[in-house]
Amino acid sequence: MKRIVILLLAVIVCIPSLCAASDKDDDKQKRVNIALATIVNGDTIPSFELMEVTIYGRRTFSNARKQRKYDKLTRNVMKMYPIALEVKAILVETYLYLQTLPDDKARDEHLEKVEKGVWDQYYPVMRRCTLAQGKLLIKLIDRECNQTSFELIQAFIGGFKAKFYQTFAALFGASLKKQYDPEHDEEDAMIEEIIWMIDNDML
């Protein structure tokens, strides 16, 4: 994953627009120049805060099998990423609501309702998912919530259920403790690239 900040181009574009002040807009232009300048040893130096630009090179693969694998990963991310965002929204809403409840009994009752609601809503969806998509969702939840699925279950409904679900996931070769690491994992780096393209309406 390459991140390139195109400084020179931005300076070339921005400087003429800042220097082309008309007499009518003189006061306004002075305010802009003051806001976008730094004084160093008595010299006024223009300064600009530029947005970071991310550029991904076109991926090429050495054989058709690797291309198909990447295409499959793209389809899976497009399917599971919205679910991960929904899970994040549910967790945030649940956490905020729990803070308004008076005691542990009320919180436990609410969490049971949330657990049942999530099960009823997502069980039909997850039944149609493949094992690869399920493993991907575990990673995406870690990405969105900055906590593994195991940690989230443990925090909300207790360590016993967290261990139960972890054992159940292990039967299928999955782990709720799986972390998302695009810096060191090649597949996660590809997932991050695909998500970036989804967020920027390129997929």
Domains of the chain by residue range: 7-46, 64-199
7 band by pLDDT with thresholds 50, 70 and 90: very low
Q: What's the pTM value of the predicted model, to 2 decimals?
A: 0.69
Which backbone phi and psi does 38 adopt, to 5 degrees? Answer: -125, 135
Distance of alpha carbon 43 from alpha carbon 162, whole angstroms: 62
For the segment 105-113, the average pLDDT, to the nearest whole number, is: 89
HSE at residue 116, side-chain half, CA atoms within 13 A, is 6
Sign of CA dihedral 69, 75, 80, 82: positive
In terms of pLDDT, which residue wins out, 10 or 87?
Answer: 87
15 band by pLDDT with thresholds 50, 70 and 90: very low
In terms of pLDDT, which residue wins out, 83 or 34?
Answer: 83
